[in-house]
Structures are given as C-alpha cells and as structure tokens.
Amino acid sequence: MTADPRGALADLVAAFERHLEASASKRGEDDPTVIAAYDDLADAFAAYDDTLLQAYGEMTPLDIYDGDDEDDDEDDDEDEEELDDHSDEDGDGAVYSGLDDADYDDGDEDDDRR
C-alpha cells in the first residue's frame, strides 16, 4: 500500500479546523469536545508525519506534547546542553538558532544605512 501524504494532510487540516471550532465554543477547562478534538488533531498529525516519512523519507519539525514529563527527563538534559550552545550573548533574552551569525538579523538597523 502506497502512503498518501495529500490525503493525510487534508485530514490534518480538517482536524485543525475542528480543534479551532471546539476551542472557540468550549464550556469550561475540561470540555470533552475540546479534549476529543485535541486527541483527533494529535492522531491526524501523527498519521500525516508517518505517511510523509513512508512516501518521501521526510518528517515535519514538530513533536506531539503528550504531557508525560517523566519520559522526557533525559531529553531535557540534552535540550539544555543544546540551548547552552546557542546562548544569549547580547543579553536581550532571545535565543536563536538556525542561521550562522552572519545570516542572523537581530532587527537592529545597520549604522551605514543612515
């Protein structure tokens, strides 16, 4: 059976829309409609990610938060080490990763443009 990423993507978009509608009309913190929409959205995302991997060998850069922090303790240590590697050198509180320092635009205008 060939994986169908487009169909899985359509299901994911529909799950996002249902979650939005449930969230907009929720009745309290533990609204079962919102909880069900949340679970459906997580399932649709996992299906899309799996299908994308099967079809093209690619994955999204996203993870599903499952609320279980105990299993993530080892991962948290690794994440903290990675954050240390991308520390906040200018003290503005921003942590940035993804581009080399030469490619990063911190929003400050260059003095030579005046």
The percent of residues in the chain predicted with pLDDT above 70, rounded, is 58
Tell me the whole-structure pTM to 2 decimals.
Answer: 0.58
Q: Tens place of pLDDT for every residue, the chain, 114 residues?
A: 568 999 999 999 999 999 999 999 999 999 999 999 999 999 999 999 999 999 999 999 999 887 776 655 555 555 555 555 544 455 555 444 444 555 545 555 554 544
- pLDDT tens string 36-62: 999 999 999 999 999 999 999 999 999
Burial 86-112 (b: 16+ CB within 10 A, else e): eeeeeeeeeeeeeeeeeeeeeeeeeee
The single-letter DSSP state of residue 59 is: -
Q: Are 108 and 90 in contact (CB under 8 A)?
A: no
The confidence score (pLDDT) of residue 65 equals: 86
Average pLDDT over all residues of the chain: 77
